[in-house]
Structure 1
Amino acid sequence: METIQKMYEHLIWANKRILATLHTINEEQQEVIRLFSHILFSEIVWMARLQGIDSSKLPIWAEVDLKFCEQLVKKNEENIISYLLIVNKEDLDKNITYKNSKGNEFQNTIREILTHVCLHGHYHRGQINSKLRSLGAEPVVLDFIHYIRS
């Protein structure tokens, strides 16, 4: 549970760092915002699934602005912290049954889902950094070890 807690502290930190960087870029960045919002929407979807809420109608991709992303960052931080306060070590290997956006049913453990959410976000944050570099902006340092050191 301690490792998962640290992973989510890092996730929250990384979302805030991406958001702060996007606020400093003057050029067209809709593709970057679209990737960032996808991370945030996915966090909402998975948190809903973990809580037994139907997520099949929730967006995963949507065209939103940076202000909306800022609201999602705050909302997701609150939801993640609340969820991690109620889940315990014994819960991690319990199966969750959920449907994806196509209506297909799946089952995974809470541990698998929590791990997936973190890794999914890291993957897309790497894509965001690549796009930032192509815009001439400095990529955001998001390494876990950098988070631990700070």
Structure 2
Amino acid sequence: MKSIKGMMNHLYWANRRILDALEENETMNNDILKLVRHVAVAERVWLSRLQNKSNAHYSLWEEAEDLIVIRTMFEENAEQYRVYIEALQESELDEMVNYSNMSGVPFRTSVRDILLQVILHGQYHRGQINQALRIASAEPAQVDYITFARI
């Protein structure tokens, strides 16, 4: 549990850093905003699956116009994941979750693997966002795990 909690804390920190970089650089490219929103919504979708709730009302790839709305989503996600993980027992990490993907295809995945998916998915897309910042001659956010671990 300690590793999962540490990696999730890194996720919350890295999400804030990437949002801060976007605000500081005033980089509001529609493609970047759409990608940032995608990460926030994907976190919500996976949490709904973990909680055995419907996620049919979520759309992963909608246009986004407001970084403040996206930041609020990330803050709410962080709080909801903290509550979920605090209630989670180590033995529950290997429990299987039945869910359907956004196309309706059924799957069965462990809680541990779902949490790792959330962690790695966000890191993948933060790399893409940082690349877009560089292309726009803006300063990327340092979001490496080791930077987080050193603080």
Structure 2 vs 1, CA of residues 28 and 13 (structure 1 numbering), >3 Å: closer, same or farther? closer
Structure 2 vs 1, CA of residues 138 and 108 (structure 1 numbering), >3 Å: closer, same or farther? same
Greater Cα offset, 94-103 or 49-58: 49-58
Point out which structure has higher relative CO (alpha carbons under 8 A, 6+ apart). Answer: 2
Question: Which structure 1 residue ranges, 4+ long, deviate > 6 Å from structure 2?
Answer: none
Who is 2:95 aligned against? 94
- TM-score computed with the length of structure 2 as normaliser: 0.95
The count of residues paired between Structure 1 and Structure 2 equals 150
1:106 aligns with 2:107: yes
Structure 2 unmatched ranges of 5 or more = none
Counterpart mapping for 1:64-79 below 5 A? 64=64, 65-79=66-80
Using the TM superposition, give the Cα deviation of residue 73 of structure 1 relative to its aligned residue in structure 2, in angstroms.
1.4
Helix, strand or coil for the counterpart of 2:114?
helix
- TM-score computed with the length of structure 1 as normaliser: 0.96
- The answer to whether the 8 Å contact 2:27/2:133 transfers is no
1:16 aligns with 2:46: no
Using the TM superposition, give the Cα deviation of residue 105 of structure 1 relative to its aligned residue in structure 2, in angstroms.
0.6
Give the aligned CA root-mean-square deviation in angstroms.
Answer: 1.0
Structure 1 unmatched ranges of 5 or more = none
Between the aligned residues of both structures, percent identity stands at 37
Using the TM superposition, give the Cα deviation of residue 57 of structure 1 relative to its aligned residue in structure 2, in angstroms.
2.9
Using the TM superposition, give the Cα deviation of residue 28 of structure 1 relative to its aligned residue in structure 2, in angstroms.
4.3
